């Protein structure tokens, strides 16, 4: 299976990560907090101007003003269905008022495969700066979700993201960009602080993944159900401090794939809780999740391995390098995938092998040579 290579971008001078003047530097304290707590809030990582662009875009989408919204949703009573769990890029019925149109949305998945703006924010350089430290240095961009939780809309019960998106080795991480200020009233996230040390609990039946090789692992039902009485993970979350994670617009919440987290209902009557969420893993991890290979696509073989089902070729190499397949960004957003192999190699010399010199009794660092006998 061939690794994707750039085309027209080969001739363009790359903007390499270390050459940027606005690179975000993760502190030691932030690194420790992420490892200890399972999540990290980075204030103001996305600029005020970028938040304004995201907010204008979501408002246009909710009103059906995007040119890509050529199809119209079926009419329904959103007060009865409590919001649709997963939606496509469709317009609400045209005869509705602006307020009624907005109520037709809850969340839309994978729009980075349809809209340039979503690809661009999935590959936001400062978000990738943080991910490069937390799960990198090689980063694969896998999923986007646009949450448009309006007044009265429901939340999502306790869950672990790796339950839905498994990677091997297990390196999943989410990045949650706040488009609106979020607090307890309009449905901010809650984290079971420190629950990142828990295994991923597999489903008793149906879709989902977990650490089934553990001898006494409990199988669970009701994952993501907002009703704690029906969600077996609520008992796991009760072992930990449950922390509200408020955020200002432009803040980014990073959270690992094992931490238990949830959101509650938007209790307000006039405030939205909009956010742009992407998921990533280390680009050296294998995954069979999220294939992007429509029927008749001539490049399908590069995106789904017909033997082992690997789907790495469906996801974008955001930073670093990898020995596994990857996809190019459909809208040409600059990232590691748009660099030449030589450019990626120059940026990825972090893996140079070193070995101690034992002949002198000193632990000197020297380049490892596979043809040298170091036992004498």
pLDDT in tens, 214-251: 999 999 999 999 999 999 999 999 999 999 999 999 99
Point out the residues of the chain with pLDDT beneath 70: 1-19, 82-86, 295, 300-301, 350-376
- The dotted CATH code for 28-332 is 2.60.120.620
CA–CA dist 287, 268 (Å, integer): 39
Residue 199, classified by CB atoms within 10 Å of its CB into exposed (0-12), middle (13-18) or buried (19+), is middle
Residue 133, classified by CB atoms within 10 Å of its CB into exposed (0-12), middle (13-18) or buried (19+), is middle
Query: Residue 155's closest CA among 178, 180, 186, 183?
Result: 186
Query: Residue 62's closest CA among 179, 159, 163?
Result: 179
The predicted structure's pLDDT at residue 70: 92
The predicted structure's pLDDT at residue 298: 73
CA–CA dist 58, 331 (Å, integer): 19
The predicted structure's pLDDT at residue 338: 97
Structural domain boundaries of the chain?
28-332
CA–CA dist 332, 9 (Å, integer): 8
Query: Residue 315's closest CA among 306, 325, 326, 304?
Result: 326
**What is the number of other CB atoms lying within 10 angstroms of the CB of residue 286?**
16
**Strand-pair category, 173-178 with 273-282:** antiparallel
Asked whether the beta carbons of 348 and 320 are under 8 A apart, the reply is yes
Asked whether the beta carbons of 281 and 173 are under 8 A apart, the reply is yes
Residues 6 or more apart whose Cβ sits within 8 Å of residue 373:
none
For the stretch 86-110, pLDDT in tens is: 688 999 999 999 999 999 999 999 9
**What is the number of other CB atoms lying within 10 angstroms of the CB of residue 80?**
6
Residues 6 or more apart whose Cβ sits within 8 Å of residue 183:
244, 246
The predicted structure's pLDDT at residue 245: 98
Alpha carbon of 179 to those of 149, 171, 322: distances in Å? 11, 26, 32
CA–CA dist 117, 298 (Å, integer): 25
In the chain, beta strands by DSSP E: 39-42, 107-109, 139-149, 156-159, 173-178, 189-192, 242-245, 252-256, 261-263, 273-282, 316-319, 354-357, 364-367
Residues in the chain, how many? 376
Placement of tokens 């029927």 in the chain? 295
Query: Residue 336's closest CA among 283, 292, 289?
Result: 283
94's tokens:
């045209």
Residues 6 or more apart whose Cβ sits within 8 Å of residue 331:
116, 119, 120
CA–CA dist 246, 187 (Å, integer): 9
The predicted structure's pLDDT at residue 365: 55
């Amino acid at each position: 299976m061939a690794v994707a290579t750039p085309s027209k971008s080969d001739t363009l001078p790359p903007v390499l990560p270390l050459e940027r003047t606005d690179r975000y530097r993760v502190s030691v304290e932030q690194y420790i907090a992420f490892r200890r707590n399972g999540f990290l809030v980075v204030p103001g990582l996305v600029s005020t101007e970028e938040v304004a662009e995201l907010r204008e875009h979501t408002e246009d989408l909710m009103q059906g003003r995007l040119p890509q919204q050529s199809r119209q949703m079926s009419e329904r009573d959103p007060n009865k269905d409590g919001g649709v769990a997963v939606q496509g890029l469709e317009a609400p019925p045209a005869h509705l008022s602006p307020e009624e149109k907005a109520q037709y949305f809850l969340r839309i998945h994978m729009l980075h495969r349809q809209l340039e703006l979503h690809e661009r924010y999935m590959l936001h350089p400062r978000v990738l700066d943080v991910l490069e430290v937390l799960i990198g240095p090689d980063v694969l961009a896998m999923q986007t979700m646009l949450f448009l939780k309006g007044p009265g809309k429901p939340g999502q019960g306790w869950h672990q993201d790796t339950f839905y998106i498994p990677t091997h080795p297990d390196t999943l991480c989410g990045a949650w960009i706040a488009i609106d200020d979020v607090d307890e009233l309009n449905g901010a996230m809650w984290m079971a602080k420190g629950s990142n040390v828990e295994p991923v609990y597999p489903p008793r039946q149906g879709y989902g993944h977990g650490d089934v090789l553990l001898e006494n692992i409990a199988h669970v039902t009701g994952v993501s159900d907002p009703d704690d009485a029906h969600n077996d993970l609520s008992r796991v979350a009760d072992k930990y401090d449950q922390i509200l994670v408020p955020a200002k617009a432009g803040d980014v919440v990073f959270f690992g794939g094992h931490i238990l987290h949830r959101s509650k209902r938007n209790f307000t009557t006039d405030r939205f809780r909009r956010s742009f969420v992407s998921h990533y893993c280390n680009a050296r991890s294998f995954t069979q999740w999220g294939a992007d290979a429509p029927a008749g696509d001539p490049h399908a073989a590069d995106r789904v391995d017909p033997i082992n089902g690997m789907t790495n070729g469906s996801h974008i190499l955001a930073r670093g390098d990898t020995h596994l397949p990857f996809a190019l960004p459909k809208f040409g957003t600059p990232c590691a995938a748009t660099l030449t192999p030589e450019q990626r190699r120059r940026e990825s010399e972090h893996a140079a092998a070193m070995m101690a010199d034992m002949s002198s009794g000193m632990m000197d660092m020297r380049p490892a040579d596979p043809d040298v006998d170091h036992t004498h």
